[in-house]
Amino acid sequence: MGRDYVIITDSSNDLPAGYAEEQGVVIIPISFEIGDEVFDGREKTLTKKEFYDRMRAGQGTKTAAPNINDIEEEFEKALSAGKDVLFTCLSSGISSTINNAFVCKEEMQEKYPDAEICVFDSICASGGHGLLIYHAIENKKKGMSVTENMQALEELKHRIVHKFTVDDLTYLQRGGRISKTAAVIGGMIQLKPVLHVDTEGRLAAESKVRGRKKALNQLLAEMDICTGSYADKQDVVLICHADCPEDAEYVRAKVEEKYHPNKIIMSEVGPIVGAHVGPGTMVLIFEGDKR
């Protein structure tokens, strides 16, 4: 297996609270703003319910990528203890975190020339990134070295399929994803978009339906289309919701009934992703032949 190593990531992964940390993964918090307050995700933070209630009340949101110092600090802790590093983060198509990580790698490699420092662009978001971290943890348990683990994740990430729908177009409009006119008209006719994360790790539109239940069923229909040869061998499916647990349970039951995955992980969309998609977002993550 070679030297021991530490898996380091950011707080955008939307795994269940505490899961990654319990498995020895180091989480670098991403700060966020809501209203006129800044939360660092460490000493000062909000529950997800509080966060979405404040969004519903009309408070604006912002997020910022982890800075170089935050990443460097965690690299230093691992490397100074004689361990290698596997760093994975939110997609480069969405965040600049990966660029900061490469700067840290270059600096740390000079100081620790014998260390393996693997910086991995997940090209995933939310639970898709979380699913990769889940597999990184399992790969390490199986005895994979840091480089073997990264190679396995590199192959897997192209099969991680993200399908999600939002309940309110306002938040996509605020983030510049759609025009204000489209958001207003879409809201009037109950238009619900189904989106995905494309092969370059960027958010992209998939389809549009009218009504919430149709949008949830469309997520399931997209799963039918995209699983391909993985239809009867779903290992882990991850379902995330932004303060809409009943809808998440509806999707879970349908996935369980049809695909019988080995494991379904239920989680919540946190403030980092939620700031851009809003309350009521439903995310379905699974493995397929292609995105």
The three-state (H, E, C) secondary structure of 41-90, written as one string: CCCCCCCHHHHHHHHHCCCCEEECCCCHHHHHHHHHHHHHCCCEEEEEEC
Residue 175 pLDDT grade (very low, low, confident, very high; cuts 50, 70, 90): low
pLDDT confidence of residue 184: 39
pLDDT confidence of residue 1: 55
Angstrom distance (rounded) from CA 173 to CA 242: 18
Q: Is 277 exposed, middle or buried (0-12, 13-18, 19+ CB in 10 A)?
A: buried
Averaged pLDDT, 74-82? 97
pLDDT confidence of residue 135: 98
Lowest mean pLDDT among 51-65, 184-198, 242-256: 184-198
pLDDT confidence of residue 67: 87
Report CA dihedral (105, 111, 115, 121) to the nearest 10 degrees: 0
Task: Tell me the three state secondary structure of residue 152.
Answer: helix
Q: Is the pLDDT of residue 288 over 60?
A: yes
Task: Tell me the three state secondary structure of residue 145.
Answer: coil
Summarised one tens digit per residue, pLDDT across range 195-223 is: 999 999 998 888 889 899 999 999 999 99
Positive/negative CA dihedral, 182, 185, 245, 282: negative
Q: Is the pLDDT of residue 132 over 70?
A: yes
Q: Is the pLDDT of residue 14 over 70?
A: yes
Nearest to 247 by CA among 211, 213, 196: 213
- Strands 117-121, 84-89: parallel, antiparallel or unpaired by DSSP? parallel
Extract the tokens encoding 65: 């990528």
pTM for the structure as a whole: 0.92
Angstrom distance (rounded) from CA 99 to CA 87: 12
Extract the tokens encoding 153: 């994740």
Angstrom distance (rounded) from CA 47 to CA 35: 15
Q: Is the pLDDT of residue 89 over 90?
A: yes
Phi/psi of residue 93, each to 5°?
-75, -10
One-letter amino acid identity for 98? Answer: I
Nearest to 77 by CA among 39, 28, 41: 28
Angstrom distance (rounded) from CA 271 to CA 47: 9
Nearest to 92 by CA among 102, 84, 83: 102
- For the chain, the C-alpha Rg in angstroms (whole number) is 19
Provide the H-helix boundaries in 124-270. 126-141, 146-156, 170-174, 180-188, 212-226, 245-259
Lowest mean pLDDT among 12-21, 64-73, 183-192, 239-248: 183-192
Q: Is the pLDDT of residue 113 over 70?
A: yes
